[in-house]
Structure 1
């Protein structure tokens, strides 16, 4: 009987544990369901919208992106201000140390100008015995070495103070630029919000328009931005291998003395990117006289990138891809978003990886083809 009660008690405990475990796991199931629903979110269609509503969606998306830019610039401004304050404190300490070193160095200079060190040298020469001369010379050498250490320490601290002052000046200039940028972006956002409020008020159905704006902003924030970053990341990783690809392509590089010419057809580049980066076939690079157009569609996402390749020498010689315009699902994103993606993902390539000491001089675009002029710089 006791054994039966004990087994019954154990069974009740196990049942309670199973119920509690099921209740604990339930939120995880709900969370997984929410993630599935989010990933399957459809992009709002703008095909049947009039130009006024389409412009409102574009302004709303731009305002949201500029708000993020303002937050980034604000954080950068705060970090620069903290650095500036820290440099100011370090400069005060450095100045005190420099004053103390200057006092010591002045004493050394006075000793040389008044002939005090010359008197020590004469005393050394007038020493009667060899042992005394050796002992006095060692003493004299200690003084000279000490003088040298003082002067060297002063020069070092003086140079450090100059470097610190230059850092302070650079940080001050950076703060001014950041402040001007922040002011400009806030003005842009304020103007956009005015245009949005005015446009919504004059629309035939303000509630529907606001709902469309919210849906588009949410889709971009939750899905579109990550998809676009994914394509940029694939392009960046592929371009790391582009110099090796060029070396393997026959007739891609022509040599005339110290001058090199790289000729790239858009078909070559597209084939390379599709094979190397795994980009969908729908994404294509097109070379025009005005620059480069990248467009493609994958599922709910339609992306157009207008850009150009330019020669850049700092911090190193490179063929850098510059994003001039970014259009997502028919809506142009602000220049700040294009610039951020350009800075985050390197879509350029480096001639030095093809041949050492090779430097790019110019880039020429034509319909369906790009030519890069390079020179061997030894």
Structure 2
């Protein structure tokens, strides 16, 4: 039964993919070389689409942040009101200690004439002391909660300010790009042809291209989660050196590993060049090129984090907003401590054909 369901899901996905390709055919931009003018106009048009999408994402996050800010402000008012009551009670208890009222109870305890009276007063004394402790503990908790809420409110306010500034910056970018595109269309000898190309590209990107690019990144992220399997097949890649270890990943070995993890990745080739990694893939008229590098980072945990420096779709470079989104949504890094628990990376170097990671003991 499960096999039938899986077969049905695969067939449905295949039919959907073919349907989308039929409805949104590969745009002419991939069919023949573009002039410099066409290249620039189409890249800027694609950037407008992507930055507009980023603006929409920021706007959603901004609205969520404003709602959270309102809820947090209301909660803070309630906490402050409770805090005043708690503060008064705690103050009264502390005053009682300093004014000697608790000493009077202790004196009464010691001046009893029988064990029966002694234990009665003792029970009363312990009950009062327990109540005092509860009030003072509640005061401490309310104070901690108040301070935490104030920090959250401050952080959220700062984030909201940054979001608004980013929103304005992205809107200005779109206006400038649109102005440039309109200017070039106005100066073109065949503006209608360019408008058709822009429309076809936009339609294809929004309905097929973006989905496919995210599929590639999702497949890569999934494969990198299983990177510890790489060492099982390439144990000679990790060698002891100078009280630590050196992990040498060869280009051909990484390609073989990734291809074995996902059939989609069999269309991609990873090339190690000086100080950068280049990944290229091509499938059904879609061409993708990703350039990036690794950095060693210790927060929140020791890891080699992959940074997308350049992203090219069907010969057109995508803006930084798309690179950042994909980098945040899909983790293409790997974590040395998942491979060897007692080591941490401290250096990564990319040379022609190899990626070398230096590891040191972390006990």
Measure, in 2, the Cα distance between the counterparts of 1:208 and 1:86: 52
**Maintained 8 Å contact 1:288/1:367:** yes
Kindly indicate whether residue 257 of structure 2 is the aligned counterpart of residue 292 of structure 1. no
Mapping 1:207-246, distance limit 5 Å: 207-246=192-231
In structure 2, the residue matched to 1:4 is none
Measure, in 2, the Cα distance between the counterparts of 1:77 and 1:320: 27
Mapping 1:312-327, distance limit 5 Å: 312-327=297-312
**Maintained 8 Å contact 1:247/1:354:** no
**Aligned alpha-carbon RMSD (Å):** 1.8
In structure 2, the residue matched to 1:72 is 57
**Maintained 8 Å contact 2:258/2:266:** no
Measure, in 2, the Cα distance between the counterparts of 1:34 and 1:207: 29
Task: Using the TM superposition, name which of 250-259 and 334-343 deviates more.
Answer: 250-259
For residues 170-209 of structure 1, what are the alpha-carbon distances to aligned partners after superposition, in whole Å with 9 as ceiling and x for unaligned? 1011101111111111111010000010010000011111
**Maintained 8 Å contact 1:319/1:350:** yes
Q: Please tell me whether Structure 1 or Structure 2 has the larger radius of gyration of its CA atoms.
A: 1
Measure, in 1, the Cα distance between the counterparts of 2:223 and 2:17: 35
Unpaired stretches in structure 1, ≥5 consecutive residues: 1-30
In structure 2, the residue matched to 1:41 is 25
In structure 2, the residue matched to 1:165 is 150
In structure 2, the residue matched to 1:94 is 79
Task: Choose the corresponding residue for 1:199, options 150, 172, 184.
Answer: 184
Kindly indicate whether residue 148 of structure 2 is the aligned counterpart of residue 148 of structure 1. no
| SS of equivalent residue, structure 1 residue 196 | helix
Measure, in 2, the Cα distance between the counterparts of 1:297 and 1:175: 40
Query: Where do 4+ consecutive residues of structure 1 move more than 4 Å?
Result: 31-34
Task: Using the TM superposition, name which of 313-322 and 331-340 deviates more.
Answer: 313-322
Measure, in 2, the Cα distance between the counterparts of 1:37 and 1:374: 46
Q: CA deviation at 1:64?
A: 0.5
Q: TM-score, normalization: structure 2? A: 0.92
CA 1:130–1:251 in 2, change beyond 3 Å: closer, same or farther?
A: same
Unpaired stretches in structure 2, ≥5 consecutive residues: 1-14
CA 1:173–1:36 in 2, change beyond 3 Å: closer, same or farther?
A: closer
Measure, in 2, the Cα distance between the counterparts of 1:128 and 1:235: 83
Task: Choose the corresponding residue for 1:340, options 305, 319, 325.
Answer: 325
| SS of equivalent residue, structure 2 residue 299 | coil
Measure, in 1, the Cα distance between the counterparts of 2:218 and 2:179: 35
Kindly indicate whether residue 296 of structure 2 is the aligned counterpart of residue 311 of structure 1. yes
Q: CA deviation at 1:233?
A: 1.4
CA 1:73–1:300 in 2, change beyond 3 Å: closer, same or farther?
A: same
In structure 2, the residue matched to 1:255 is 240
For residues 287-342 of structure 1, what are the alpha-carbon distances to aligned partners after superposition, in whole Å with 9 as ceiling and x for unaligned? 11231111132221111101011112222211111111100011000111111111
